[in-house]
Amino acid sequence: MSGAKIIELRSDIDELNELLKQAKRKKVLDILSLEIRKLETELITLKESEKNEAAMDVSSTPTTSTQTQKRYQIKLNGYGWDQSDKYVKIFVTLKNVQNVPKEQVYCNLTERSMELHVDNLENKDYLLVINKLLNSINVEESHWKQKTDMVVIFLAKSQQNIKWSHMTELEKKFEDQRNNKFKTDDMEKKDPQEYIMSLMKNMYETGDDEMKRTISKAWYEGQQKNKSDTLDL
């Protein structure tokens, strides 16, 4: 069953990537990128679940002690980010995270990646992974803080005063591909907006709260811009 689900997710991601190359508006690009990242996280989780199930099949029956220590891990894919001249700041919302001991909230950092671990928050482990950061970071000068219902990670820029246009190389690559695609004459003949809007409607109806908020915000801002353009005329 999980094998079929993996194939389906892979197909969905590939199709979304094709749509991303055709999207014209930045808000549409952001929505599609968010959905792609969500599906990729789900795909990774499924693959790891398959590995864990295979390992359990060949292992002996766990003891009662092992069973009580087992916790469910949740892969996070939603976060906000901002930046200053010195830091890229990542905001991760987790209810009651302030109650977790400090040693159970930690980051594994490299020059081009970060992992946030929150262990045993109400008997669940949380993990946020961001690979292939757009630029390198200074691991020694980076740090993180627990706040009420939130963890803030401060990634120190290796090159200060350099503005990051995206969080990851992948996100920048998607936008560059889209921009290059629309420079061709062939794209002038295509109008993918109707299909994309239909996809966005379906994503809104089936998506989680974060996806619905993002789509609603994009729609509202688009309407406001259209009103502003009309007034200017």
Q: Does 79 lie in the same domain as 159? A: yes
Nearby residues of 35 by Cβ (< 8 Å), 6 or more positions away: 16, 203, 207, 211
Q: What's the CATH code of the domain at 117?
A: 2.60.40.790
Q: Does 77 lie in the same domain as 52? A: no
pLDDT by residue (tens digit) across 154-172? 999 999 999 999 999 988 8
Domain that holds residue 105: 70-169+206-212
User: Which tokens in the block code for residue 12?
Assistant: 């969905």
Would 65 be classed as within a structural domain? no
Mean per-residue pLDDT for 12-28? 82
Cα–Cα distance, 194 to 217 (Å, whole number): 19
Q: Does 75 lie in the same domain as 43? A: no
Would 220 be classed as within a structural domain? no
Residue 41 confidence (pLDDT) above 70: yes
Q: Does 155 lie in the same domain as 79? A: yes
Number of domains in the chain: 2
pLDDT at residue 65 in the model: 46
Q: Does 42 lie in the same domain as 81? A: no
Longest dimension (CA), the chain: 74
Of the two residues 233 and 84, the one the predictor is more confident about is 84
pLDDT by residue (tens digit) across 94-153? 999 999 999 999 999 999 999 999 999 999 999 999 999 999 999 999 999 999 999 999
pLDDT by residue (tens digit) across 98-112? 999 999 999 999 999
* Cβ atoms of residues 50 and 102 within 8 Å: no
Q: What b/e readout covers 92-128, taking b as 16+ CB neighbours within 10 angstroms?
A: bebeebeebeeeebebebeebebebebbebeeeebeb
Q: What is the number of residues in the chain? A: 233
Cα–Cα distance, 4 to 66 (Å, whole number): 31
pLDDT at residue 63 in the model: 47
pLDDT by residue (tens digit) across 169-209? 988 888 887 777 666 545 455 556 666 777 777 777 776 67
φ, ψ dihedrals at 67, nearest 5°: -65, -40
Of the two residues 29 and 88, the one the predictor is more confident about is 88
Would 126 be classed as within a structural domain? yes
Q: Does 149 lie in the same domain as 80? A: yes
User: Which tokens in the block code for residue 78?
Assistant: 């939603």
Q: Does 32 lie in the same domain as 74? A: no
Q: Does 154 lie in the same domain as 75? A: yes
Q: Does 120 lie in the same domain as 159? A: yes
Q: Does 89 lie in the same domain as 27? A: no
Q: Does 87 lie in the same domain as 160? A: yes
Average confidence score pLDDT of the chain: 81
Would 185 be classed as within a structural domain? no
pLDDT at residue 66 in the model: 45
Would 4 be classed as within a structural domain? yes
Would 115 be classed as within a structural domain? yes
Q: Does 154 lie in the same domain as 118? A: yes
Of the two residues 54 and 70, the one the predictor is more confident about is 70
Would 191 be classed as within a structural domain? no
